[in-house]
Structure 1
């Protein structure tokens, strides 16, 4: 098979991902007319229609979608390996894409990474603060930040934080005149502030300790957020009970604006890890970030 078809497939993958000939042409550095000619040639060679084109959009056909799903991950691996080879022995540079929840990023990542990045002006960092359990390979991230017990197979990981836990907290105004919950079953009589980290996922259960195990407790209430910061703000405003990281609730607990309940039922969670595909060679820039974030027991987030 000639090398030309590989070039044409790269062009198709770029168009299918961008859903636009205009953006794909800009990314590839070619004209739209040349790109259209390339796709026509590829479709003629394969004897299949790969793209459906309208005046407003571009989308893959069934055959095009299959080609995209089967072939593009392999091209990503090849591109990554070529980039790794080209950077061996060179200065630390390049783009690193990371996904992390806003809590993990603000508390354990940015305070340590920010000073280090000042020494590497050629490193470009792209961050997605997304609390959902993102598939970093499918979404083309170089790494993700996640609790150690939430990391999938075929991933390498490095711990970056101590263990931590959530607490159930509410404002004294909300709790005034109410019976305090003494067991998780008592939560049904309270307004609970929920979190849902992705629309395709269910509402996140409150993982509470019972005996030797942990039970997923489903609660109900008037508010659902996709970030613990909003849930904490709602608890401070008196809307009900929220299940939020203890480190975020600590100022409110110390100044009396919050009160913890069922504290003995709130178990510790595994610390955050930075994880990445074990099948890809690490770029120098990502290696630098991993070593910067590697867990130091002497580091205490503020």
Structure 2
């Protein structure tokens, strides 16, 4: 049986789509379709059920994938190990949210550059990041969304605590945590809101988790970068919800104040994501391990 056909089959099985598999393999979609049909003719059985959005493996398709995928991955590992036994002289393409990648991930990976690893970072939303990883544009991705399907493999990296903050003068006006604790979200209705998007994603999540309510205000300042949000809040633009790691220094110096200390603060989980099988590549495996180790202290 042709190994090229099997490789294409496993890629389609993991991707759940001829289109995604074609992008990963560097082939055209008709070429992928033709190879799968050739393999189905050899086996005399259908391997996938075609649907409006992607494909679903048949029972025989699932069985075949589970039997051959580990062996194909092992062949890739052997081939790559022969080409590159060290981390050095390779480039790692990392994708993730701009703030977390800048302040956490890149500094953690920087020591690997002394071993010859080159780093290339791309910033984007969770959807953009996962789509880029699936298409083969990135080697590692950090995202707040856990991917589905067999193409991408995710492990929890760390949790971030979200904090409701404002400049001291706004905190004094509402009585800081005491006022919010006593009156709930009504104590915050007159405060301007600073956010990363018009839909108020961080504010809405915090309000739902802590107050079991929806925010009444709209964004007074909208800037698509959490660091810009922090700067605006410290300058007195209004309240915001930010990850604690991002605003911890500003809290310590008193530039901003936490408006509430809920018993169970809202958390958001970051996931470290790779394409299935790529941890066989030494430079990706090394960076993956390095990030997981660093995240223990995050």
Q: Distance in 1 between matches of 2:140 and 2:157?
A: 13
Partner of 2:15: none
Matching residue within 80, 84, 87 for 1:87:
80
Q: Decide which structure has greater helix share.
A: 2
Cα RMSD between the aligned structures?
3.6
Matching residue within 120, 123, 128 for 1:129:
123
Asked whether the equivalents of residues 160 and 295 of structure 1 are also in contact (C-alpha less than 8 Å), the reply is no
Deviations 1:218-259 (A, max 9, x none): 741321111110000000000000111112222222222211
Deviations 1:72-125 (A, max 9, x none): 3443799xx897654224323422211112322233312321113212x1x332
Matching residue within 214, 219, 237 for 2:235:
237
- The Cα shift of 1:293 comes to 1.1
The reply on whether 1:71 has 2:22 as its aligned counterpart is yes
Q: Distance in 1 between matches of 2:229 and 2:209?
A: 28
Instruction: Give matches, 1:179-190, under 5 Å.
Output: 180-181=179-180, 182-190=183-191
Distance 1:83-1:107 versus aligned 2 partners, 3 A rule: same
Asked whether the equivalents of residues 158 and 290 of structure 1 are also in contact (C-alpha less than 8 Å), the reply is no
Question: In terms of mean alpha carbon deviation, does 245-254 or 278-287 score higher?
Answer: 278-287
The reply on whether 1:140 has 2:174 as its aligned counterpart is no
Q: Distance in 2 between matches of 1:283 and 1:69?
A: 21
Partner of 2:98: 102
The reply on whether 1:257 has 2:251 as its aligned counterpart is no
Q: Distance in 2 between matches of 1:266 and 1:191?
A: 25
Asked whether the equivalents of residues 140 and 288 of structure 2 are also in contact (C-alpha less than 8 Å), the reply is no
How many residues are aligned here? 224
Distance 1:231-1:189 versus aligned 2 partners, 3 A rule: same
Q: Distance in 2 between matches of 1:171 and 1:111?
A: 29
The reply on whether 1:174 has 2:170 as its aligned counterpart is yes
- The Cα shift of 1:275 comes to 0.6
Partner of 2:160: 164
Q: Distance in 2 between matches of 1:217 and 1:84?
A: 51
Deviations 1:112-148 (A, max 9, x none): 21113212x1x3321013344323214722221123x
- The Cα shift of 1:291 comes to 0.9
Q: Distance in 2 between matches of 1:289 and 1:140?
A: 16
Q: Distance in 2 between matches of 1:281 and 1:221?
A: 42
Q: Distance in 2 between matches of 1:113 and 1:253?
A: 27
Distance 1:226-1:212 versus aligned 2 partners, 3 A rule: closer
The reply on whether 1:248 has 2:234 as its aligned counterpart is no
- The Cα shift of 1:260 comes to 1.0
Unaligned runs of 5+ in 2: 1-17, 33-72
- The Cα shift of 1:194 comes to 1.2
Q: Distance in 2 between matches of 1:237 and 1:211?
A: 27
Unaligned runs of 5+ in 1: 1-66
Q: Distance in 1 between matches of 2:224 and 2:213?
A: 22
Query: The residue matched to 1:264 in structure 2 has which SS?
Result: coil
Asked whether the equivalents of residues 188 and 220 of structure 1 are also in contact (C-alpha less than 8 Å), the reply is no
